[in-house]
Copies of this chain bind each other. A is one copy, B any other.
Amino acid sequence: MKERTGYFFEDFHLDQVFRHATPRTLSEADASTFIALTGTRHTLPSASPLAAKLGLPSRPIDDVLLFNIAFGKTVPDISLNAVANLGYAETRFLHPVFAGDTISCKSKVIGLKKNSSGKTGTVYVRSICFNQNEVPVLTWVRWVMVNKRDIDADTPREHVPSLKDVVAPEDFSLAARISSANALDSWCDATGSNDLWDDYVPGERINHPIGVTVEEAEHIIATRLYQNNAKAHFDALAMKQHPVGQRLVYGGHVISLARALSYDGIENALGILAINGGRHVSPTIAGDTIYAFSEVSEKFELPDRNDMGALRLRLVGLKNMTPSEVSSAHPDGSNPSKYHPSIVLDLDYTVAMPRRQKR
């Protein structure tokens, strides 16, 4: 049968390997279209001469764009029949990617768990994205809730993998990406901010000033740019049967938007080193206005580097309420799974940022 229906929960087994289809040559165009779809002003992916000062051949492809295109490659095999993307962990950016590079991905099933309903199960996969020279550029773990085709089918052997809460500094792949930030004399002019690694304090919260209302056409254009073909984002007719009743904005695009909004206040981030974890707390639909705030969770010195440090950040995406209206992601206090109803995204990630040089 040539009617491609994708994999259902009972089709997966532990250690199963997928080589995902459709390698993709990235281009300056993807960078430009990503700017048009998110408004991102993060500086390194915007300006090649600044990248050259860091020893890079040209401006790198934005980290979140790379993540989303790589993720898109895995959808036809892993999540075509997914109900929800439940979480991310152990995401590491390993090597910069430039216009002209061609990426491809593979995934391995590292965990399986049937759900109590019997209708779905959770599939854990570790994915790796390579460039055309087979150099790994990005790796991540995600887990998704996947429908069963046949509710009575045998379910695969279960295993819940143990995943790290945070990517440790010794696991950052910094050298390949930024050999030295000492040359960045004019960096703060280029970013418009003088706040460097030294100026951020754990516990500090930054409300990002801008909000963006999402339109149906823009999120589907973005999700197609990522070559993600999950039905829930594209087929309004089928989504009438879904509890939400309409197309859902792809969660990775919410990350793109929130990360773009976070520029104002975290202008000097040089790139993402790791995504420690992430949750799409509630769905976003066209018409929602997205805002964001960030919290500084932790600061890392980096081994053998006095030119830069790492900041662990929590990026919280909100819908239809401004950051100033939401005093805490967890109004109930300590319960980390009970969120303020406006929250759509809770992302825990780590960036590199230049340190102030002693003169």
Contact = CB atoms under 8 A, between A and B. Distances in A.
Contact of A215 (B193, B216, B237): B216
Contacts of A5: 209
B48 A25 contact: yes
Copies of this chain present: 3
A284 B209 CA distance: 24
Given A2-B266, A215-B215, 15 more contacts: A3-B207, A21-B191, A22-B47, A22-B190, A23-B49, A23-B190, A25-B49, A36-B224, A37-B221, A48-B100, A104-B190, A210-B234, A212-B220, A213-B235, A216-B217
A193 B237 CA distance: 28
B192 A211 contact: no
A351 B224 CA distance: 24
Interface in A75-92: 76-77
Interface in A213-233: 213, 215-218, 220-225, 227, 229, 231
A30 interface: yes
Given A213-B237, A216-B217, A43 B22 contact: yes
A136 to B, nearest CB: 17
A98 B101 CA distance: 17
Nearest to A222: B36
Interface of A: 2-6, 19-25, 27-33, 35-39, 41, 43, 46-50, 58-59, 76-77, 99-100, 102, 104, 132, 189-193, 195, 204, 206-213, 215-218, 220-225, 227, 229, 231, 234-238, 247, 264-267, 287, 289, 320
Contact of A27 (B23, B28, B49): B28
- What 4 A-B pairs are tightest by C-beta distance, nearest first? A21-B192, A29-B32, A29-B29, A217-B217
A31 B36 contact: no
A195 to B, nearest CB: 6
Contacts of A215: 215-217, 220
Contacts of A99: 28
A213 B191 contact: no
B33 A32 contact: yes
A27 B22 contact: no
* Residue among A31, A49, A208 having the largest count of chain B Cβ atoms under 10 Å: A49
Contacts of A22: 41, 43, 46-47, 190-192
